[in-house]
Structure 1
């Protein structure tokens, strides 16, 4: 059964991890578009501030203090949605934890904690949402990452968690479709996004960490999530860089390993000492509403690629042709050994991203 999704202004949307980064951008955008919201996060103060902001602008929202690694907390989110609005139409699994560091230098206990939130929290949310939506229909939107497709050096634990998210999401989608449940299940796979991710991460490297370019604004993710709430989609890559990284992994994985090894350690480090570990949001909530990070380079405010890819069959066909051309050109440039240009890998998308969106990643030295 094909899911029939409501317009956003007729929906109740649940968002976990709603007080920071992509979750906060999505909450604000969905509220602006008329959705009623159930926002969940660990910080009561930040949630109260967000609800006050939304209601002051004429929106409707209720907050639930919850840790998604606790299934009881996740079930309570659904219960609040039932009690307040009679249920929900879209459930967005966005909460996450982050770690930078080599695998052999990262405590296993921290990796386990990361999986408790990124994998088990998303699994609890998806199963609770699916049980609720089986009869009434709706959407489950899981926020994965480009690392769902291609592991990122220095972010191995996070990459592994997002690979697990992809596998779970695909299995859930098939099972719901096989039983005829009118539920859309979408995996959103962003490239690097200018959120407080590096500041909130636990860092086991010897320097301050940052995001590897190209970097996109959190609104690009919010637009993709809001689109998936209204239009059934299997996958949405946020940013042409995400799609092209996935293609490089599929067609030239060995070459892409070399690119990662040569460039992506340096691209994720700044020439300054690491921040104090006590300042991370891994061990405790940040307690603040914060959408953007402190990325010092260019941030693309829009992804023309993603807009084209979510604009219907014609747009998808054009993107597929352009992405193939971009892949070929990117491989050619990488094999020359003199330059790895992310603009080249991400530019030719026939109506998708242009050069102004994606600056060069860097050059071998």
Structure 2
């Protein structure tokens, strides 16, 4: 069955983890482009403020307090979307968090909680959303990571959860294709993104956590997600640095093992000491309401991602550059 995606201005979009970071950036960008957005997260006060701000700017948004690790909460989120709008066209499974610490030091309880949020949150979101998406057609978008393709120390169980998300997402896509369901399934793979991700992580280290460079703007991830909502690609990387590392992992895995062992532990530790409260948002909602984090590194926009989601523009630019180069060579020849 052919999959047809509506323009964003005609869509209802459900976004989990919408109270900060990538989810918040995506919700605001979607609302600016005319989509009706349903915001889900644990922090009800932050969600209400965000929904009010979107409405003040002429958009339409609803807030639904949701803990994605509970299937009943996710079912209630879908039911509210059906009650308010008759359904939804895109479902974005974005909620997730991390733990900074060596695998042997992290408690089993914390490891299980991380999987409850990161992996089971996406399983619940996907399986709850699919009955509606199959009826209407649309897009299911899961947030993986470059950690879906490669692993690194200090965030070992986070990497494991993102590997699991990739396996689940790929298998689900195949089953839907075999069934002929009118639903696209996209896995988004961001590199390091400047969000409150380190602040929301549970920290076992003596120093504050940080993300390794290069670090990219959350707007790049939001644009990739909204592109997927309209076009339904299979995978999208956000950040050329992440794409390079993923490709390197496939071709020379021993090199990325060496890089992880020699550099990644160091680059995930900030200069300052850890804060007294090290629990982050693992068990309770954190301080939400902001898109950007406090990365000490230069934050850049991803030319690679822009090229991936704007192939026509990229073709025009390449054609123009080729023509300019040819003209320059001709002039040089005449000279």
Give TM-score scaled by structure 2 length.
0.92
| Unaligned runs of at least 5 residues, structure 1 | 320-349, 352-365
Which structure carries more relative contact order (alpha carbon 8 Å, separation 6+)? 2
Structure 1 segments (4+ residues) deviating >6 Å = none
The residue that corresponds to 2:112 in the other structure is: 112
1:60-85 Cα deviation digits (max 9, x unpaired):
11111010110010011110000001
The residue that corresponds to 1:309 in the other structure is: 308
Instruction: Give 1:312 deviation, angstroms.
Output: 3.8
The residue that corresponds to 1:333 in the other structure is: none
CA-atom RMSD in angstroms: 1.8
3-state DSSP of counterpart to 1:185 = strand
**Aligned runs of 1:237-252 on 2, under 5 Å?**
237-252=237-252
How far, CA to CA, are the matches of 2:215 and 2:126 in structure 1?
28
The residue that corresponds to 2:274 in the other structure is: 274
**Aligned runs of 1:276-355 on 2, under 5 Å?**
276-278=276-278, 280-300=280-300, 302-312=301-311
3-state DSSP of counterpart to 2:75 = helix
Assess, with a 3 A threshold, how the Cα gap between structure 1 residues 152 and 2 changes in structure 2: closer, same or farther: farther
How far, CA to CA, are the matches of 2:187 and 2:205 in structure 1?
30
How far, CA to CA, are the matches of 1:9 and 1:170 in structure 2?
29
3-state DSSP of counterpart to 1:80 = helix
| Unaligned runs of at least 5 residues, structure 2 | 323-335
Instruction: Give 1:278 deviation, angstroms.
Output: 4.9
3-state DSSP of counterpart to 1:37 = strand
Contact 1:199–1:279 (CA under 8 A) maintained in structure 2:
no
Instruction: Give 1:314 deviation, angstroms.
Output: 9.7
How far, CA to CA, are the matches of 1:280 and 1:296 in structure 2?
19
How far, CA to CA, are the matches of 2:49 and 2:264 in structure 1?
37
Q: How many residues align?
A: 319
1:130-181 Cα deviation digits (max 9, x unpaired):
1111121000000111100011211101000000000000011111111111
Contact 1:202–1:277 (CA under 8 A) maintained in structure 2:
no
1:35-79 Cα deviation digits (max 9, x unpaired):
001110001100100110010001111111010110010011110
3-state DSSP of counterpart to 1:105 = coil
How far, CA to CA, are the matches of 2:313 and 2:2 in structure 1?
20
3-state DSSP of counterpart to 2:112 = helix
**Aligned runs of 1:137-148 on 2, under 5 Å?**
137-148=137-148
Instruction: Give 1:310 deviation, angstroms.
Output: 2.3
The residue that corresponds to 2:49 in the other structure is: 49
How far, CA to CA, are the matches of 1:153 and 1:194 in structure 2?
20
How far, CA to CA, are the matches of 2:279 and 2:204 in structure 1?
13
1:188-221 Cα deviation digits (max 9, x unpaired):
0000000011111001112111110000011110
Contact 2:204–2:278 (CA under 8 A) maintained in structure 1:
no
Give TM-score scaled by structure 1 length.
0.84
Contact 2:203–2:279 (CA under 8 A) maintained in structure 1:
no
